[in-house]
Structure 1
Amino acid sequence: MKHKVINTLIFILFAYILSTGAVYFSSQKDIAQWEADTLALAENKAGLRQANNFYVFTKNKTYYTVSGENDEGQAIYFTYSPDDDQTYTANVDELVNEDNALALTRNDLGNVQVKTANIGIENGEYVWEVSFRDENGYLGYHYIDASDAQWYETINNL
């Protein structure tokens, strides 16, 4: 009797691990495809030769951004919007970087747990979207204009 229960529990645990693994890898497949497509566009349109980071920004539209170095050795952000097939390029040196966006959010909001930052386009300008958890455990987003490091918008209590 004990062996049947133990074997049944082992089978249930094994099935659970397999199914959650399948869901996880299935969800990552889309992100990997978006990144590959954006990298190919960046190589063709902006001469990207080395990629560093990939960001997904979704607010009013979806934007995929890759940071890296172009053929001229300049650090750039290349952004693609699949919603309207637009591309954007900016020099990293001319914008707030990811670490600064995270630090600005900590400074602006005080007692929050900063999670991640994604860069995208809002009203034709580069914007950092920094996700955070407040002291009550609610998720929020803090938006910073990447060109001048100014607060853009904060969405709380999600």
Structure 2
Amino acid sequence: MTRKIINIIIAILFIYILGTSALYFTTQKDVAHWEAETTKMAKNEANLKNVRRFYVFTTDKTYYTVEGNNKNNEKIYFTYSPDTKKKTQTKADKLVNHENALSLARHNLPDATVKEANIGLEDGEYVWEVSFRDKNGALGYHYIDASDAQWYETINNL
């Protein structure tokens, strides 16, 4: 009897692992597709020779951004929105970088655990969206203007 129960539990766990793995890989396929597409556009249009980071930023529209160096060895952010087909690029030295965005969020939210930062466009301007968990465990987003490092919005308790 106990052997049969153990076999059933093992079978259920095996099916659960297969199901969650299939779901994970299916959802990651779209992200991998857009990373490849955005990287290809950035190499063709911004002359990026390498890509170091890929960001996904979603508010009203979705933006995919790659960070890399162009042929002149300048660090560039290249952003594409599949919703509007708009492509934007800027030199990274004009903006707050990834590490600084995380540091600013940690400074502005001392009681929160800062998770990740993604760059994208909001009203045509580059913005860092920094995710965090507050002291109660609720998810939130802290938005920082990438051009002047100023906080402009925090969304709590998601």
TM range (shorter): over 0.9
Q: Structure 2 unaligned runs (5+)?
A: none
AA aligned to 2:73 is: G
**Percent identity (aligned):** 62
Q: Structure 1 length normalisation: TM-score?
A: 0.97
Q: Distance in 2 between matches of 1:136 and 1:53?
A: 31
**1:73-127 Cα shifts (integer Å, max 9, x gaps):** 1110000011111111111111100110011011112210001000001111100
**1:20-68 Cα shifts (integer Å, max 9, x gaps):** 1111111110100010110111111101110000000001211000000
Q: Name 1:6's counterpart in structure 2.
A: 6
1:145 matched to 2:145? The reply is yes
Q: Please give the root-mean-square deviation of Cα atoms over the aligned residues, in Å.
A: 0.9
Q: Distance in 2 between matches of 1:127 and 1:48?
A: 21
The number of residues matched between the two structures is: 158
Q: Distance in 2 between matches of 1:21 and 1:139?
A: 24
Q: Which runs of 4+ in 1 moved over 6 A?
A: none
Q: Name 1:48's counterpart in structure 2.
A: 48
| Mapping of residues 28-107 of structure 1, within 5 Å | 28-107=28-107
Q: Name 2:19's counterpart in structure 1.
A: 19
Which region of structure 1 is more displaced relative to structure 2, 43-52 or 2-11?
Answer: 2-11
Deviation at 1:2, TM superposition (A): 2.8
